[in-house]
Structures are given as structure tokens and as C-alpha cells.
């Protein structure tokens, strides 16, 4: 799984977040062989709340979620929970024998 982080502000300020995000994504999705890549979009520091958008490419489909919070970590956790629900649904429809 390829993890990409796109940001609209200074890259130096996100190093702890990048490590946190990559660790959480690897832990959750290391067993899903149908994932091709995960892209993370961060909204900048100027806003009252932080927004994180996740774009996951799976075989034959793109899945999007977003989360909001006081910190990027909180917003990422919210978006990740939403993503888990969508990927479990995708997995059950696509890979469960009928």
C-alpha cells in the first residue's frame, strides 16, 4: 500500500503527524490486499478547525472520507473510522461468496 500526504502549508510542521498517520494506516490496512494507495489531504493552519480527507484507491473503485477536529490527529481518526466502515462494506460485497 502506497501512502501519500498532500498539504497546503509548511511540510516541516507535519512530520509528527505523518508518522502517526502512516503508523495507523499500516496497522489497520496491512491485511487488505485489495488496497492500492491511500492519499491524505490536510487543510492548513489558518482555519478554526482542521480537516483531513482520505482518498483510498481499491481495485475498481475510489473511496473518499473526511473528518474534522481541533487537531489534525483528531480529524484523521474520525476520517479513518469512516473509511474502515466503507472498506468493510466493500470487502463484504466484493470478496464474500454468495
Please count the structural domains in the chain: 1
Local confidence band at 12 (pLDDT 50, 70, 90 cut-offs): very low
User: 0.85 cut: is pTM over it?
Assistant: no
**23 to each of 18, 27, 29, 45, 96, how far by Cα in Å?**
8, 6, 10, 23, 28
- What gap in Å lies between CA 89 and CA 96, rounded to an integer? 10
User: pLDDT by residue (tens digit) across 35-89?
Assistant: 888 888 887 677 778 899 999 988 888 999 999 998 889 999 999 999 999 998 8
User: pLDDT by residue (tens digit) across 19-36?
Assistant: 888 888 888 777 777 888
CB neighbours (10 Å) of residue 87? 19
| Grid cell digits, residue 74 | 483528531
Structural domain including 71 reads 2-95
Residues 6+ apart with CB under 8 A from 88: none
Amino acid at each position: 500500500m502506497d501512502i501519500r500526504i498532500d498539504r497546503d502549508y509548511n511540510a516541516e510542521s507535519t512530520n509528527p503527524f505523518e508518522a502517526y498517520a502512516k503508523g495507523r494506516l499500516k496497522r489497520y490496512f496491512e491485511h487488505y490486499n485489495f488496497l492500492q494507495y491511500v492519499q491524505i489531504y490536510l487543510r492548513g493552519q489558518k482555519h478554526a478547525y482542521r480537516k483531513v480527507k482520505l482518498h483510498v484507491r481499491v481495485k475498481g473503485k475510489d473511496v473518499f472520507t473526511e473528518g474534522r477536529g481541533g487537531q489534525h490527529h483528531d480529524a484523521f481518526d474520525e476520517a479513518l473510522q469512516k473509511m474502515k466502515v466503507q472498506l468493510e462494506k466493500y470487502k463484504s460485497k466484493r470478496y464474500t461468496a454468495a
